[in-house]
Structure 1
Amino acid sequence: MLEIERIDMRRSALMRVSGRIDSSTASTFEEELMAAVDDKGNVVVNLAEVEFLSSAAIRALIAALKETRERTINRGDLVLTNVPTRLKEVFDLAAITSLFTFYEEEVYAVGAF
C-alpha cells in the first residue's frame, strides 16, 4: 500500500512516501508529484519508508524532475532524501543517479531551497 504525506514548506513541498511504488500505484505517485510541482516548483521526496520502487515509479520521478526544470517560472528542482541503499542501487542500475541530487537527511534537502 502506498502512502504519501505532503507538507508544504515556504519554498518547497516535502513528500514523505511509504510502501510500494509499483505498476498499480505509480500513477497515483506521479499525480501527487505533479501536483506538488504545480503548487510549489521545488519538491523534496523522502524515500526512507519505500519498500519497492518499480520502473514506473522511476519514470514518474524523472517526469516530475523534468517538469520542475522546464515548466516552473523560477526553474525548480526535485531532490531525493533518505534513500535506502537498496533503492539507491536501483538508481545506479538504471544509470540515472546523476540526474538527481541526493541528501542523506531530510533537513538538508528542505534547507537546499
Structure 2
Amino acid sequence: MLEVKEQNGHLIASLADTDRLNAAVASEIKSELTDQLSGNANLVVNLSNIKFIDSTGIGVLISALKTARQHNGSFKLCAIQKDVMSLLSLMKLDKVFDIYDNESEIK
C-alpha cells in the first residue's frame, strides 16, 4: 500500500490504491510506516491523493511520528489536500507535524 522512494536523504512514501486514510486501511498503513521508521529513517508521507481522513487515520499519523522520534528519525507530511489540512488545523496538528506544500520543499 505504501510506495517508497528516496530523495535528498529522505524516504518519500505515498499511499497507493486509496484516496482515504481510515479504519479500513489503517492497520496496514501503520504496520508499513512502523517498518520504514524502525531504523532511524527520515520519512516524508505525501498525502496528495488522500481526500478523506478519519480519527483512526489521524491516530496512524500520530503513531508514526512517535515511532520516528523513538528511533531518532523524523516524520513529515507534504502535499496535503485542503479538506484534510482543514481537519489537521482544526485539531491543531498542523503545529505538531512538519508540513510542506510539496516534495521539493523538504529539507
Q: What range is the shorter-chain TM-score in?
A: 0.7 to 0.9
- Cross-structure match for 1:13: 11
Bigger shift: residues 33-42 or 99-108: 33-42
Matches for 1:1-113 after TM superposition, within 5 Å: 3-9=1-7, 11-17=9-15, 18-39=18-39, 41-70=41-70, 72=71, 75-109=72-106, 112=107
Instruction: Structure 2: give runs of 5+ residues left out of the alignment.
Output: none
User: For the residues of structure 1 that align with 2:81 and 2:32, how far apart are their CA atoms?
Assistant: 21
Is 1:13–1:40's contact at 8 Å kept on the other side of the alignment?
no
Q: Give every structure 1 segment of 4 or more consecutive aligned residues whose post-TM-superposition deviation is greater than 2 Å.
A: 8-12
Structure 1 unaligned residues grouped into runs of 5+: none
> RMSD of aligned C-alpha atoms?
1.6
TM-score, normalised to structure 1's length?
0.83
Deviations 1:28-74 (A, max 9, x none): 1111111110145211000000121111111111111011112x2xx
Count of equivalent residues: 105
**What is the TM-score of this pair, normalised by structure 2?**
0.87
Structure 1 residues 51-110: Cα deviation after superposition (integer angstroms, max 9, x where no partner): 21111111111111011112x2xx21111110111111110122221110111111222x
Identity of aligned residues (%): 25
